[in-house]
């Protein structure tokens, strides 16, 4: 009898220990993950640095794409575009298919000159041959700098960048159309004011800044708008579609590697961090719970694919590749499956996150050219 009592005590202690371990994984690990999710990343801090001398031997995958920018670290100017299908492995932007206002020769830089590998290609519109005005949108937290590029007609495109990036991300898109374009900033991106609590919220609050930009566009001549979102910019647009009173002004949507499905994206991010499969589900449960309690952030609000029925009935163009390790391509596949008649999906093979333009600029442009008249007819 004493033996059974002792065994029961040991089993009880084991159960308690297991419960403690599970709670530690779920809420300890989940809490850490939640803090990472809402942390504001320094814009563009992810760009790798390479010296001119090391260019010949680099295996950076971005330098194997059709075109990628090399930005001089000293003054943040794009000095060259590189790519395997350009006239030479290293060429000035003026020698490549993409125009620029400034393209000093790479050969003029010393071997120790430090360059940033930048898939945005350009840091300012002028470097892409675009004449942009610096304008200021009045937002709920303060002034929101934006670039306005004039064009033909009153049918505007508003371009929304992704997480840890800036409005420079949208310059690639801006080169593909000739209508008025507005490249916007939003809270925590280094140009716009920071959020009051210093947290990123995947569009659930950032949409207010986009709403201010839409209001500015409508007040300055836009009859209707096409919203174009990169990565988290897709989530910002999704939140805007769910909340804004100006949705009736939307004539079309363009997404590039869009964050429209949060759970699938978090699973992908967990795998990227090497978290074992069996731990991912409890870890994400803990992260979502902690985010809701500590940051008042309901990540369910970022599941925009669950609310497609409330979106305006307009054409949608999507770019996404199967090599995306940030937002899984299945997100765009689900979008296409849900709205097969409205979604045009240009699948760029195994290219990575927001790299479709870089992989094949001419194909990207041709796709936009073919699609753009379609959304003009919906109004």
Domain chopping of the chain, boundaries: 1-38+262-298, 49-118, 131-261+303-376
For residues 331 and 272, give the distance between their C-alpha atoms in angstroms, rounded to a whole number: 17
Does 103 score more than 60 pLDDT?
no
Digit-coded pLDDT (tens) for 123-142? 999 888 899 999 999 999 99
Does 70 score more than 70 pLDDT?
yes
Digit-coded pLDDT (tens) for 240-288? 999 999 999 999 999 999 999 999 999 998 888 888 888 888 888 888 8
pTM here is: 0.87
- In a 3-state reduction of DSSP, which class is residue 63? helix
R_g (Cα) of the chain, nearest Å: 23
Tokens describing residue 8: 């029961």
Pairing of strands 155-160, 224-230: parallel
- Are 115 and 125 contacting, i.e. CB atoms less than 8 angstroms apart? no
Does 24 score more than 50 pLDDT?
no
For residues 121 and 103, give the distance between their C-alpha atoms in angstroms, rounded to a whole number: 12
How far from chain centre, in Å, is Cα 376? 25
- In a 3-state reduction of DSSP, which class is residue 6? helix
- Are 208 and 196 contacting, i.e. CB atoms less than 8 angstroms apart? no
- In a 3-state reduction of DSSP, which class is residue 319? strand
For residues 96 and 108, give the distance between their C-alpha atoms in angstroms, rounded to a whole number: 18
For 228-245, letters b (16+ CB in 10 Å) and e give: bbbbbbbbbbbbbbbebe
For residues 315 and 251, give the distance between their C-alpha atoms in angstroms, rounded to a whole number: 8
Mean pLDDT score of the chain, rounded to an integer?
A: 85
pLDDT band with cut points at 50, 70 and 90 for residue 293: confident
Tokens describing residue 1: 């009898």
Of residues 376 and 322, more confidently modeled: 322
Of residues 11 and 251, more confidently modeled: 251
**Which CATH code fits 131-261+303-376?**
3.40.50.1820
Does 348 score more than 60 pLDDT?
yes
Question: Going along 73-139, which residue ranges are E strands?
Answer: 77-82, 90-92, 114-118, 132-139
166: DSSP letter: -
pLDDT band with cut points at 50, 70 and 90 for residue 17: very low
Q: What is the per-residue pLDDT for 285?
A: 85
Pairing of strands 343-347, 316-320: parallel
Does 27 score more than 50 pLDDT?
no
Tokens describing residue 224: 């209707």
For residues 302 and 201, give the distance between their C-alpha atoms in angstroms, rounded to a whole number: 9
């Amino acid at each position: 009898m004493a033996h059974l009592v002792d065994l029961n005590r040991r089993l009880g202690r084991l159960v308690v220990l297991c419960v403690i371990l599970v709670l530690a994984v779920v809420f300890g690990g989940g809490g850490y993950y939640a803090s990472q999710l809402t942390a504001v990343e320094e814009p563009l801090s992810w760009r790798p640095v390479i010296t001119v001398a090391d260019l010949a031997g680099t295996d950076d995958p971005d330098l194997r794409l059709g075109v990628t920018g090399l930005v001089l670290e000293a003054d943040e100017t794009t000095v060259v575009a590189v790519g395997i299908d350009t006239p030479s492995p290293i060429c000035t932007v003026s020698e490549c298919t993409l125009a620029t206002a400034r393209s000093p020769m790479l050969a003029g830089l010393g071997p120790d000159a430090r360059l940033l590998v930048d898939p945005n290609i350009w840091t300012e519109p002028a470097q892409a041959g675009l004449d942009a005005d610096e304008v200021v949108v009045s937002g709920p937290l303060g002034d929101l700098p934006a670039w306005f590029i004039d064009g033909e007609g009153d049918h505007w495109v508003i371009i929304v960048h992704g997480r840890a990036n800036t409005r420079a991300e949208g310059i690639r898109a801006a080169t593909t159309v000739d209508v008025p374009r507005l490249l916007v900033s939003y809270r925590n991106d280094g140009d716009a004011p920071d959020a009051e609590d210093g947290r990123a919220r995947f569009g659930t609050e950032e949409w207010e800044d986009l709403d201010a930009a839409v209001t500015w566009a409508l007040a300055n001549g836009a009859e209707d708008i096409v919203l174009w979102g990169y990565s988290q910019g897709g989530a910002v647009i999704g939140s805007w579609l769910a909340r804004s009173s100006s949705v009736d002004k939307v004539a079309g949507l363009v997404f590039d590697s869009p964050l429209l499905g949060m759970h699938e994206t978090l699973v992908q991010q967990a795998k990227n961090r090497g978290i074992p499969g069996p731990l991912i589900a409890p870890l994400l449960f803990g992260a979502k719970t902690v985010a809701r309690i500590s940051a008042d952030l309901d990540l369910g609000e970022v599941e925009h694919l669950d609310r497609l029925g409330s979106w305006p009935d307009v054409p949608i163009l999507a770019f996404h590749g199967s090599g995306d390790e940030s937002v899984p391509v299945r997100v765009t596949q689900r979008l296409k499956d849900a709205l097969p008649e409205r979604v045009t999906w240009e699948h760029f093979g195994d290219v990575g996150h927001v790299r479709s333009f870089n992989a094949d600029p001419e194909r990207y442009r041709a796709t936009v050219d073919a699609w753009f008249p379609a959304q003009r007819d919906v109004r």
